């Protein structure tokens, strides 16, 4: 998995409901496409996506092959305090990619 | 739409280029003739030209316009990393010679393909990058359509976003643009279709469920939904040729670059959108 | 839900494997193998796995999908649920299902009062014109849903993978 792209707003006030946008490079191979050999290309997908805010889980998603390649997921969270947002994407083989982003709340 | 018959078209340039120093007058004549040919043919009027993004759905348009949603920006991030990575026998990165790409590469992609003296003919941006890789960095060239080459191309092309396409129009470039125009207008493949028949004469109409765009390369390299990945203009042209059951030109083939050159000339003045999203 | 998915995955794989073997046996002939589409029964089973025997009410959920899709490989989707998102009254989970892809799941998300707003956006794949259904589970144990019919047309001039 390549480096993900995370977007959180700037100038966040305590109590704001903010939208977090995430984008990661991943082929999300469904397992249904037939390759040039005539055989299906094996499934290779991200299955789990979790966001933790200062260690507490605030969002979790379970992805099926029906999620498009290079998954874009956006969701909301309440800005409670400054700290870190930890995003993790785990594929079907159990491999996890983690991205940590600072969040500043005034 | 006017009907188009490429068989009736007269070549604007003869096979032999003028070698003499009367080139100044010849250059003006060249430009005039190219423009005249465009005007006489079924070419789209300058103010009627529209980018492929105008034919896309709102959702796809939104995907391109939002840098936080555009998968092309993932390629740009990787390209920026490559730009700063030391490579090859030289131990140099692109940045070591070219500095900040936002400055040194500003407007560059909008001027490609370009005649490169060392090559003795025009090269497209991908070929030019590889030339630097080989000659200046003493590193291996990137394979066409490799993730690395697409990433670097996307990063460089981003530095032209918002700028008008401005490939060179002079005595040096014109024979190649003309060669590209001939390719654009010739019937080819089992379906005996020319690019012009769809993209000059029938743009805006439907081919099966897709709207036929005008084929201006305003957004390359693109993230194409059909491919589910990034791809170059060369890939798109090869795909179209396969679709009309013609033998596609090889990546880097002179015909492919001449055709790209013509397409960029045909789109001169239109705004660069790279990295784009297309259906 | 995991057991259901595995069962579905295995039966799909069996179909594809058999078809691929036949395709190989056909030698030089090019055989286009289409993966079997999900059946309405598979969809109902998937929904039952998420919802149990509880009734699913129409309303409160807004599923946003373009009615006419440009390319089924990437369809923008937003699901939003009306909810104060307080500790006492919030959306616990949202499950999205499809009708005609090879398998019925799209995405499941788990929220909570810290979300502030029950809304998720992503991009999905749709293999055919079909109905997409979103079901929200609320903190009081109730289930609410919305469905959208989507028309998916195949892109013209589909390229071969060999160039």
B19 inside domain: no
Chain A positions touching B73 (Cβ under 8 A) are 5, 23
CA distance B63 to chain C (A): 9
Tell me the three state secondary structure of residue A68.
coil
Query: Are B176 and B274 within one domain?
Result: yes
pLDDT tens per residue, range A78-100: 999 999 999 999 999 999 999 99
Six-digit token pair at B108? 């560059």
ipTM: 0.96
Chain C positions touching B228 (Cβ under 8 A) are 73-74
Domain hosting residue B224, numbered range:
27-34+47-56+165-278
Query: Are B121 and B177 within one domain?
Result: no
Q: What pLDDT shows up at residue C90?
A: 98
- A63 vs C: CB within 8 A: yes
Q: Which residues of B sit within 8 Å Cβ distance of C?
A: 56-60, 62-63, 207-210, 225-228, 238-240, 242-243, 248, 279
B212 inside domain: yes
Residues C72, C73, C74, C80, Cα dihedral to 10°: 60
Angular region, C23: left φ>0, alpha ψ -120 to 50, beta rest: alpha
B20 inside domain: no
Query: Closest residue of A to C12, CA-based?
Result: A32
What radius of gyration, in Å, describes the C-alpha atoms of chain B? Answer: 19
Query: Are B142 and B172 within one domain?
Result: no
Beta bridge partners of C64: C78
Query: Are B111 and B170 within one domain?
Result: no
Instruction: Fill in the DSSP letter of residue A99.
Output: E
Query: Are B140 and B176 within one domain?
Result: no
User: How many Å apart are CA B28 and CA B33, to the nearest integer?
Assistant: 9
Fold classification of A5-103 is Immunoglobulin-like (2.60.40)
B233 inside domain: yes
Q: What is the residue-level pLDDT of chain B in tens, covering all 279 positions? A: 344 444 444 333 333 344 444 555 655 665 666 666 555 556 899 999 999 999 999 999 999 999 999 999 999 999 999 999 999 999 999 999 999 999 999 999 999 999 999 999 999 999 999 999 999 999 999 999 999 999 999 999 999 999 999 999 999 999 999 999 999 999 999 999 999 999 999 999 998 888 999 999 999 999 999 999 999 999 999 999 999 999 999 999 999 999 999 999 999 999 999 999 999
Q: What pLDDT shows up at residue C162?
A: 39
Residues 6+ apart with CB under 8 A from A38: C20, C23, C24, C31, C33
Chain C positions touching B210 (Cβ under 8 A) are 155-157
pLDDT tens per residue, range A25-79: 999 999 888 888 888 889 999 999 999 999 999 999 999 999 999 999 999 999 9
CA distance B77 to chain A (A): 8
Answer yes or no: do A23 and B69 touch at CB < 8 A.
Answer: yes
User: How many Å apart are CA B90 and CA B100, to the nearest integer?
Assistant: 19
Q: How many domains does chain B have?
A: 2
B14 inside domain: no
Tell me the three state secondary structure of residue C142.
coil
Q: Is B195 a catalytic residue?
A: no
For an interface test with C, which of B225, B228, B239, B247 has the most C Cβ atoms less than 10 Å from its Cβ?
B225
Query: Are B123 and B243 within one domain?
Result: no
Indicate the pTM of the whole model: 0.85
User: How many Å apart are CA C119 and CA C79, to the nearest integer?
Assistant: 6
User: How many Å apart are CA C132 and CA C69, to the nearest integer?
Assistant: 13
- Examine the fold and report which residue of B158, B186, B220 is the final residue of a domain before the chain moves on: B158
CATH number at residue B265: 1.10.760.10
Q: What pLDDT shows up at residue B4?
A: 43
Q: What pLDDT shows up at residue C3?
A: 53
């Amino acid at each position: 998995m390549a480096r993900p792209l995370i977007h959180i707003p700037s100038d966040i006030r305590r109590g704001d409901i903010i939208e977090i946008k995430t984008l990661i490079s991943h082929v999300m191979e469904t397992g249904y496409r037939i390759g040039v050999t005539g055989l299906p290309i094996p499934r290779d997908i991200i299955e789990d996506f979790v966001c933790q805010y200062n260690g507490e889980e605030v969002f979790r998603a379970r992805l099926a092959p029906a999620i498009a390649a290079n998954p874009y997921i956006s969701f909301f969270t309440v800005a409670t305090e400054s700290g870190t947002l930890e995003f993790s994407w785990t594929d079907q083989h159990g491999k996890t990619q983690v991205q940590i982003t600072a969040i500043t709340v005034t | 739409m006017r009907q188009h018959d490429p068989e009736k078209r007269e070549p604007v340039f003869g096979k032999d280029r003028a070698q003499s120093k009367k080139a100044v007058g010849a250059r003006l004549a060249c430009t005039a003739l190219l423009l005249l040919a465009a005007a006489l043919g079924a070419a789209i009027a300058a103010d009627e030209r529209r980018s492929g993004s105008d034919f896309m759905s709102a959702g796809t348009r939104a995907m391109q316009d939002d840098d936080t949603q555009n998968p092309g920006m993932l390629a740009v991030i990787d390209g920026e990393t490559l730009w700063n990575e030391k490579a090859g026998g030289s131990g140099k990165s692109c940045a070591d010679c070219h500095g900040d790409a936002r400055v040194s590469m500003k407007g560059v992609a909008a001027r490609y393909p370009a005649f490169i003296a060392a090559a003795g003919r025009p090269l497209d941006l991908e070929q030019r990058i590889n030339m630097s890789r080989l000659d200046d960095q003493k590193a291996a060239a990137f394979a066409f359509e490799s993730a690395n080459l697409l990433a670097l191309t996307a990063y460089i092309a981003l530095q032209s976003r918002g700028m008008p396409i401005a490939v060179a129009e002079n005595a040096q470039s014109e024979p190649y643009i003309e060669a590209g125009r001939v390719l654009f207008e010739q019937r080819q493949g089992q379906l005996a279709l020319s690019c012009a028949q769809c993209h000059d004469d029938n743009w805006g109409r439907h081919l099966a469920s897709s709207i036929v765009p005008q084929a201006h390369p305003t957004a390359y390299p693109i993230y194409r939904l059909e491919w589910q990945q990034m791809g170059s203009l060369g890939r798109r042209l090869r795909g179209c040729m396969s679709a009309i059951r013609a033998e596609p030109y090889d990546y880097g083939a002179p015909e492919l670059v001449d055709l790209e050159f013509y397409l960029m000339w045909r789109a001169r003045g239109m705004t660069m959108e790279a990295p784009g999203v297309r259906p | 839900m995991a057991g259901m998915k595995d069962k579905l995955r295995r039966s799909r794989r069996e179909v594809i494997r058999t078809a691929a073997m036949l395709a190989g046996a056909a030698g030089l002939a090019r055989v286009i193998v289409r993966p079997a589409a999900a059946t309405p029964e598979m969809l109902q089973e998937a929904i039952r796995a998420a919802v149990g025997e509880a009734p699913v009410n129409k309303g409160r959920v807004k599923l946003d999908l373009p009615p006419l899709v440009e390319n089924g490989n990437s369809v923008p989707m937003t699901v939003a649920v009306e909810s104060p998102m307080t500790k006492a009254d919030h959306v616990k989970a949202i499950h999205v299902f499809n009708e005609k892809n090879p398998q019925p799941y799209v995405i499941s998300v788990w929220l909570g009062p810290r979300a502030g707003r029950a809304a998720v956006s992503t991009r999905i794949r749709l293999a055919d014109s079909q109905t997409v259904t979103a079901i929200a589970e609320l903190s009081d144990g109730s289930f609410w849903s919305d469905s959208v019919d989507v028309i998916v047309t195949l892109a013209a001039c589909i390229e071969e993978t060999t160039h």
